[in-house]
Amino acid sequence: MQKKLESQINELLKNEGFKKNIRLDHVIKSLHGKAEFAFIVNPLAERSDDPFLVAKSLSQKIMDAIPLVQNAFPSETKKGKHTLVFINLKINPEELKKYRAGNIVNTLKDVLSENFGQSSKNMGKIVIVEHTSANPIAPIHVGNLRNTIHGDTFARILKATGYEVRRHFYINDVGLQIGFTVIGYEFLKKEKLYPDVKFDHWIGKVYAIMNSFYSIQTIKQNARKKDIPVSKSRYTLTATDLKKIDAYYTDKINEIKKEVENLKKEKNTKATKQKISKLNRQINKLKEESKEAEKYVATVNSLKIRFPELFDILKKNVKKIDLIAKTSEYLEKYEKGNDKSINSLFRELTDWTISAFKWTLKRYNVDFDAFDYESDITWNGSPKKIVDKLAKLENTLSLHDGTYRFTYPKQLINKMYQELKLDKKSIPIKGDIPDLQLTRSDGTALYPTKDIAYSLYKFHQFNPEKVYNVISDEQTLPQFQLLLPLYLLGEKHAAKNLIHYRYGLVELLGRKMSGRQAIYITADEYYDETKIRARMAKKAAFKQFEDETWEEEEKLLTAVTLASTRFPLIDTDPNKKIVLDLDRELDFKRNPGPFILYAHARAAGILRKAVPRRSIDEIDWKILAENKETIDIIDLLATFEQRLMDAVNDMNPSKIASWCYELAQKFMKFYEQNPILSAEEQTKEALLWVVTALKKGIATGLSILGIPAVDRL
């Protein structure tokens, strides 16, 4: 009807000699009851005309010419120095009733049909979502959890639009961090000191301690290279060491600052500007470096106090070896994959951690189709092949130290943009892109190179239309740097369809998280704490149902826990960083997740008492055509498909989260305004159908958010 009316008005406008078309909109709140639709008149008025006069005469003409319109009247709003003029249209009540009744029937049937929430639009196409991919050296914490929930929810959304979705977890089991953690693990095994908590929580402590040793050794080594006379021991920084290091950096920074001052006095050319920029960058880097030493001294002290037993044993053992040397020895062996005992040591640690992850993820209702080991990618030789191919390219430099450096010349980048028809807005980096180092001087591949190999593995193995990498916005640059190498390797489909699904980091209100210091709230703690609070809230409200079994109570508490934990991580724009206020999230009144569950339970409560007997077609839907709350619910239910598509195109699952929340709110109002069970028979039947559809709508929405709907709460 909106469309019909729109075209009728546009027809009229054409006949009246107007050049532009209009688009109908819903009328603003304050005019509810007086009109249903509105459109803006300003664009129709020529510069010299008064839009209000145009609107006045046009209103009359619309009323005369279009029988559907009962009344048409102009209204105006001041906005700054301008005045916006609208024509508001009141539809003939009988026509409107018919239209709305039809709308209700169609929407109800659609929602209640079997395939609601499962489109076949992308049938037969495959997409891959890679998410979580947390390093297997520390527990999953609430920071990782945003990645997990976004990835899992987005995968569910893609599935609802018909894609066959594969969910992959990339295990970074080769790399510095795991290298020294494995060494610590080996010490502890020899000393027969076994985990006294869940494995990933335990290994997180081991990692933090070993990392502090490794970092201090690195700091001291670097200091010696710079001829700073630091003390002999490998793993301790004395107060005098700190002073000497600090003095060195202060001198160095001052030197560069002087240089900058001198440059500033020179002519302000592009070259000098670039030099200044470079030097400033150096200053920043030096400042960061100079703080490192002090930071690690503090970290070591805190770790020693918090985990004394682990700390002492690890320290005792690490003193006997050169940790940096041993780490590279282990890593080299593991990368080659020939040493069986090394392989099994790395895999043992990794697999224990991953199985701990799986347990945690399962509680959050998250499953995967594949866990891909970085070591497998390395062992099959593909990173090396990629290096060989890229080395032949003109824009790849071969350096004296035996490393290869991939550069990003402007012409090549532009060529790629053009050929792949990349949308300029989707390009996250303007200007120069830093070079990418492909190998270490020992010839082994660096992480980005392996990422190229892994990307190709995903495309070649499964032939997906798209691959979404759910990775935080910190990694925008390295993710973007993947594309040109792929393009130049002739992998155009991959270069165009490898998509970085970006999201902002999570901060905790009043606390700092740091994996290196083993300071974080783990996903397990967050879940447990929420569930405990849910149990307490339930007890406080005397909400024990008489016939409730233990299993049912568990089911209810699980639903509340998932709603409370998953919802706040998904309900805002992924681009925005979020600050988790645990007190707020754990307060069920202020967290929208449980509110939605409650709405669903209320709907279920009504349907336990009564269900519609007559079919949808047997009811005269005009009786609800003027029921505002019903119309609101129906209109919202009808937008679901569109929201799904928006969520996919914008890579923004919060659109579904807010849809659920709005639906729950609208239902609460509906519930208060329309007594159902006591209503007259016809109305009661009609209202019950609305409740039935709404219940299904909420349940469908929630399942896409990975939250089970429950019938009681």
Partner RNA sequence: GAGCUUGUAGUUCAGUGGAAGAAUGUCGGUCUGCGGAACCGAUGGUCGGGGGUUCAAAUCCCCCCAAGCUCGCCA
Going 228 to 229 to 233 to 237, the CA torsion angle's sign is negative
Shortest Å, Cβ 526 to RNA: 17
Structure tokens, 269: 């050319």
Q: Packing angle between helix 270-306 and helix 239-265, nearest 10 degrees?
A: 160
- CA–CA gap between residue 125 and residue 374 (Å, rounded): 26
How many DSSP H helices and E strands does the chain contain?
A: 26, 14
Helix, strand, coil % (nearest 5) of the chain? 60, 10, 30
CB atoms closer than 10 angstroms to residue 604: 18
Burial status of residue 424 (CB atoms within 10 A of its CB: 0-12, 13-18, 19 or more): exposed
Closest to 639 (Cα-Cα) out of 656, 624, 622: 656
Q: Which residue type does 462 have?
A: F
HSE-up of residue 56 (Cα within 13 Å, Cβ side): 5
Shortest Å, Cβ 264 to RNA: 10
Instruction: Give whichever of 267 and 589 is closer to RNA, judged by the CB atom.
Output: 589
Burial status of residue 667 (CB atoms within 10 A of its CB: 0-12, 13-18, 19 or more): buried
Instruction: Give whichever of 119 and 437 is closer to RNA, judged by the CB atom.
Output: 437
Shortest Å, Cβ 2 to RNA: 15
Shortest Å, Cβ 126 to RNA: 26
- CA–CA gap between residue 456 and residue 482 (Å, rounded): 11
Instruction: Give whichever of 625 and 676 is closer to RNA, judged by the CB atom.
Output: 676
Instruction: Give whichever of 146 and 205 is closer to RNA, judged by the CB atom.
Output: 146
Instruction: Give whichever of 47 and 192 is closer to RNA, judged by the CB atom.
Output: 47
Closest to 685 (Cα-Cα) out of 697, 694, 677: 677
- CA–CA gap between residue 438 and residue 445 (Å, rounded): 6
Shortest Å, Cβ 699 to RNA: 14
Q: Which residue type does 390 have?
A: L
Shortest Å, Cβ 543 to RNA: 5
Instruction: Give whichever of 367 and 626 is closer to RNA, judged by the CB atom.
Output: 626
Instruction: Give whichever of 136 and 464 is closer to RNA, judged by the CB atom.
Output: 136
Shortest Å, Cβ 627 to RNA: 12
Shortest Å, Cβ 589 to RNA: 5
Residue whose pair of structure tokens reads 């559809």 in the numeric block: 693
Strands (E), 311-417: 370-373, 396-398, 404-406
- CA–CA gap between residue 437 and residue 481 (Å, rounded): 11
CB atoms closer than 10 angstroms to residue 38: 21
Instruction: Give whichever of 456 and 560 is closer to RNA, judged by the CB atom.
Output: 560
Instruction: Give whichever of 77 and 240 is closer to RNA, judged by the CB atom.
Output: 77
- CA–CA gap between residue 467 and residue 447 (Å, rounded): 19
- CA–CA gap between residue 488 and residue 389 (Å, rounded): 10
Instruction: Give whichever of 344 and 575 is closer to RNA, judged by the CB atom.
Output: 575
- CA–CA gap between residue 510 and residue 144 (Å, rounded): 18
For 351-392, the DSSP string reads HHHHHHHHHHHHHTT---SEEEEHHHHHHTTHHHHHHHHHHT
- First and final C-alpha spacing in the chain: 41
CB 682 within 8 A of CB 623: yes
3-state secondary structure of 38: strand
Instruction: Give whichever of 271 and 477 is closer to RNA, judged by the CB atom.
Output: 477
Residue whose pair of structure tokens reads 């510095």 in the numeric block: 176
Structure tokens, 10: 């546009």
Instruction: Give whichever of 48 and 418 is closer to RNA, judged by the CB atom.
Output: 48
Instruction: Give whichever of 467 and 596 is closer to RNA, judged by the CB atom.
Output: 596
498 has which bridge partners?
A: 467
Shortest Å, Cβ 312 to RNA: 27
Shortest Å, Cβ 62 to RNA: 14
3-state secondary structure of 540: helix
Shortest Å, Cβ 308 to RNA: 28
3-state secondary structure of 129: strand
Instruction: Give whichever of 116 and 417 is closer to RNA, judged by the CB atom.
Output: 417
